[in-house]
Structures are given as structure tokens and as C-alpha cells.
Amino acid sequence: MPHSRRYRSSERSSRGSYHERYRSRKHKRRRTRSRSSSSERDRRHRREDSYHVRSRSYDDHSTDRRAYDRRYCDSYRRNDYSRERGEAYYEPDYHHSYEYRRSRDREGSYRSCKSSRRKHRRRRRRSRSFSRSSSQRSRQSSRRAKSVEDDDEGHLIYRVGDWLQERYEIISTLGEGTFGRVVQCIDHRRGGARVALKIIKNVEKYKEAARLEINVLEKINEKDPENTNLCVRMFDWFDYHGHMCISFELLGLSTFDFLKDNNYLPYPIHQVRHMAYQVCQAVKFLHDNKLTHTDLKPENILFVNSDYELSYNLEKKRDERSVKSTSIRVVDFGSATFDHEHHSTIVSTRHYRAPEVILELGWSQPCDVWSIGCIIFEYYVGFTLFQTHDNREHLAMMERILGPIPSRMIRKTRKQKYFYHGRLDWDENTSAGRYVRENCKPLRRYLTSEAEDHHRLFDLIESMLEYEPSKRITLSEALKHPFFDVLEMEPSTKLWDSSRDISR
């Protein structure tokens, strides 16, 4: 019976890269397949090895445990799961894997070329090893899967009720993105808990990005086995017929999707405060461990539970939602970069992209702080601060809202095409110029109240939207900002130990 492969803690703690471990196991498995064996069951396992899905699980808090863009975060829900391990996860009906059943369907052609004596021996061995009652076989046949197919874009074709890895039963689609799809599954090895399974397209560039994300998530899990850093929890990953699959805790809506579903009604300032504090904590954890997220945005910050209370606004004649709990998780580490790794020239989603990235001056952790400043503003007012898709217009918006770009940055950039005589080359009398003038205003003019709390919030945002990365506030300093003084320091919001390095 094919089981998901588990690895010893010594292998997990190896300082080798994910790719080295992945390749070495791949070659090792090939060598194993070349050896002869007298057991037909061994031959069957080797024959399906090219199809069989390899998996690692992180099901409890033991020492060997390793540690969404508006297009796909739809309706995550978090459920508790069993923390037992091993055979307790396997129900009797789940022992035959999807791949094994497929290989059995093809055995006719395989047996046709063998002698009748060998066929007789195989039948005897198979009946001894895999015999089941008729009721078990009937239940098994109801889950029998069809051959694995991809659509033209590389998405896995599946149906509700399909099983993956003899473990994950698909119950709904949560959403779709350029990378693939996210589905909600029942994890039958974890007591029927619900999980979010990210199924990557069978396209090499997306698979490679998924491998990099897995590498980061493994390091995060190693650093924080108690899952206290407010980054999404990865439970498991495996390769399913060319589709990288990652199993996550099931969460609520993204903070963007909740905002959109609520007619872009801004979050109340006390909710903005708590959400901003948690985002700063989670990203500080990454920065302390030599990681830069590089793609922070409201779509990549999810509520743990997005249940809400409904009230009716008589003035606007509409229902308005108020989320019950503002506990959040930071997700999507597909672009996260360690300090020692290659830094791509362009990172971040356009609206949250820092000026040093646009001007190609090099970037590091401060680019995340700029993104957080844009996110907090969006929570407060309900719309994006820099609504543009053009670099020159983006820079013009920055100058309209934050003041002139520093001359040092202008002199240093290679993007001199955006400037003329040391100033931004921008004509305010064009249609684009009028658009920026009419839709952007100095930052403090976005205040909706003159209360002290609101001014403190904008003081924090201003310090995060400092042009010069070296002058931009750090997240350690941000967490001590007066805007957060009123928060009660509960155990769930404490600062974590960051003395250990997970970057290598």
C-alpha cells in the first residue's frame, strides 16, 4: 500500500536548499526503481512511483515539524484539526491511493506480455495483500478517480468529491489566480478538518515559484513551531502529477475582499489600529529573520474569521458590515526574498510599490514598510492611495501627495527619462495631469476627523511613506508609535523572540 513519505528530522533540519533536497530524492528514487525485486507489490509501487505524490506533513508541534490577491481569496474558514500522527490518520477505506487504482486499470496490457505462470503468482500475491470485503470495495469504487487531466492553461481538472493524495477530498473551489486555483478540502488524516489547498498550474515558472514559496514557509515553520508570528500556516506540500500543491490553514476573507463586499466602507479607526499593529508584527518577524515579503497588499492579509455583524444605514439606505474579529494572517510568500538571495529589479504590486523600486535604486526591507503605509491608508479611507498603472504618473501622484522627490534619489537613478533638469518631467495641463490634480491631494487632507487618534495615525503613515529608505521608519519603531499606545498588550500581540536566524 503506497503511503505518503515522511522524512526524519535530521533531513528536515539539513542546511541544504529545497532544490538540492528535491533533486537528490528524485535521483535516489530513480536508482531504487532500477533494482530488481521478487515482490509484485514492490514492482507495482515502483511502477507508480512516477505518478505517486510525495508529501511532507507538519501536523503537530514536535521538533521535527517544518514549520491571496483579490482574484482567489473567497471564503476561507478555519477549523481545528487532530494533532495525532501516523496510522491514526488512515481510515481503512483510504488505503488504496488514486494512483494505485489508475495503475490497476492499465494492468491488462502489462499482463498480456507475461507467462501464465507469472500471472497466476501475481494474482495470488495481490489477493493476499489487497483483499477487501465487498462492502469496502463498493465504498472504494464510489471514490474511484478518472485519469488526471489538465486544461489548456495548465489548471488541474477536478470535480467536487475528487480525492488527492488519498487524503484531501475536494468540497469547493475558493478562487482562481494566474498561479492556479485554491480549493477547500476535507483532510481525512486530520480528523476531517477543513483546509485550503493551493493547486499550482502545471507550468514550470509557476511550479518554480511554488517551490520557492515552500522553501520560505518551511523556514518560517522551523522558526515558529507554535504558529505565533501571524503568518499563514503551511501544513503539507506535495507534487501531484506535475501540480505543486500546498495545504494551508483555512482562513476568512482577505481584508480587501471584505472591504469590497462592504461597498468599500472604511474600517473604523479602532479596527485599523489592531489590524495595522498585527501586520507590523508579522512583517517585523520576517525582517528580523532577513526576509522581505515584497508583495504586501490588502489581498494578501486575511482575516482568521471574517464573520460579521450587519446593521442598516438609514442615511445611505444600505446594509453595512462590521467584522467581529480583526485577527489577521499574512499570506502569499511566493515572492518573499532572503537578504542573501538575488533581488529582482521590480517587485510589489503596482499600487504598493515603493519609489526606490520604481527608480531601480535597489530595495530591501524598507520597501515592505512603504507597502504597509499604503495598506493602512486604504483601510482608513476605503480606496487605494496610488490608483495608477504608469510609472511617471505614479511618481507625479507621490509628489502631489507627499511633496517633491529628493534630489539625491533623482541624481542616483538610472531612470532619467522620468526627469528633466533635476525635476519630474510632468505636464499638469495634460489629461493625465488633470487626473492627478483632481484625484490626489496632500496626505493630511484625507483626514476624516481632527481627533488626536486620527492625527497620530497620519503621523505614522507619513513616517512609513518617507521617500528615502534609510529615513523610513522601521517596524520596530512603528510598533512603539503613540498611535498604538491604547492597545492592550495581550499575549497574542506580544513581540516574538527573533534571536535565531532562519535565512540559511
The DSSP 8-state label assigned to residue 504 in this structure reads: -
Give the closest residue to 202 by CA, choosing from 213, 210, 194. 210
Give the closest residue to 466 by CA, choosing from 402, 420, 410. 402
CB 494 within 8 A of CB 285: no
3-state secondary structure (DSSP) of residue 172: strand
CB 461 within 8 A of CB 348: no
3-state secondary structure (DSSP) of residue 14: coil
Strands (E), 193-288: 193-200, 234-240, 243-249
Residue 244 φ then ψ, to 5°: -70, 130
SS3 readout for 205-222: HHHHHHHHHHHHHHHHHH
Task: Spot the catalytic one: 59, 69, 239, 295.
Answer: 295
- Cell numbers given for 374: 499604503
Q: How far is CA 302 from CA 310, 353, 473, 502, in A?
A: 20, 20, 24, 24
- H or E element in which residue 384 lies: none
324 annotated to bind ligand: no
Pairing of strands 328-330, 318-323: unpaired
- CA geometry: angle at 494 spanning 363 and 483, to 5°? 70
Give the closest residue to 365 by CA, choosing from 412, 296, 301. 296
SS3 readout for 394-406: HHHHHHHHHCCCC
Indicate if the alpha-carbon torsion angle 257, 333, 347, 173 is positive or negative.
Answer: negative
Q: How far is CA 87 from CA 56, 131, 167, 188, 222, in A?
A: 15, 19, 12, 12, 24
CB 469 within 8 A of CB 405: no
- Long-range CB contacts (within 8 A, 24+) of 128-133: 129/41, 130/1, 130/96
93 is known as an active-site residue: no
Distance of alpha carbon 4 from the chain centroid: 23
Amino acid at 40: E
Q: What is the DSSP string of 44-76?
A: HHHHTTTTSPPEEE--S--TT----HHHH----
CB 164 within 8 A of CB 171: no
Q: Residues annotated in the binding site for ATP, as ranges?
A: 198
Q: Residues annotated in the binding site, as ranges?
A: 198
> Could you list the active site residues?
295
